Amino acid sequence: MATSPDGAGGPPRGGRIRRRLAKWKEDAGRLKTEVFALYLASRDPRTPWYAKVLLALVIGYAISPIDLIPDFIPVLGYVDDLVIVPAGVAAVSRLIPAEVMEEYREEARKGTAFTTRQKWIGAGIIIAVWLLVLYLFLKLLLRLIP
């Protein structure tokens, strides 16, 4: 049995958990790059319409509050998100021509697709949508309370 560097016994520091977390972080980074490349490719006229439709469905599922298995169910609630979304991303990637995907993967890795102004505008739109949803929810809630 391996011991910690101070000789106190027990598992070595870092060990499997640190390696696993590093791998998950790397996988998440690759998924983020792939999703961004898919977004860029979806605006390209060389991308088939059915790939664009499938991408919209995958993104819709990923951001939808409705899941096949509700998230409040321990462990199983997140399994569908951990399987369906990456599988959908992989399927869409295969439907788009390889040369188109490589071009946009490289652009996504560089991170030069959007200017800072465009990023702020996008963030503003997302915040505005969430504020609208919150407003509508509160308005509905106040109508239901006698």
Q: How many domains does the chain have?
A: 2
Q: How much is the pLDDT for 123?
A: 85
Residue 41 CB contacts under 8 Å (≥ 6 apart), including other chains: 47, 51, 96, 100, 101, 104
**Residue 35 burial (CB count, 10 A):** 20
108 and 120 co-located in one domain: no
Q: How much is the pLDDT for 36?
A: 85
128 and 79 co-located in one domain: no
48 and 104 co-located in one domain: yes
The Cα 113–Cα 122 span in angstroms is: 13
The Cα 39–Cα 95 span in angstroms is: 13
92 and 143 co-located in one domain: no
pTM metric for this prediction: 0.59
Q: How much is the pLDDT for 12?
A: 55
Q: How much is the pLDDT for 14?
A: 61
Residue 48 CB contacts under 8 Å (≥ 6 apart), including other chains: 95, 96
Q: How much is the pLDDT for 98?
A: 93
Q: How much is the pLDDT for 135?
A: 93
25 and 97 co-located in one domain: yes
Tell me which residue range forms the domain holding 78. 16-113
125 and 62 co-located in one domain: no
Q: How much is the pLDDT for 80?
A: 75
Q: How much is the pLDDT for 9?
A: 55
106 and 52 co-located in one domain: yes
106 and 130 co-located in one domain: no
Task: Report the chain (146 residues): mean pLDDT per 10 consecutive residues.
Answer: 51 75 84 86 93 89 74 76 85 93 89 75 88 92 86
Taking alpha carbons only, the member of 88, 100, 78 closest to residue 55 is: 88
Q: How much is the pLDDT for 62?
A: 77
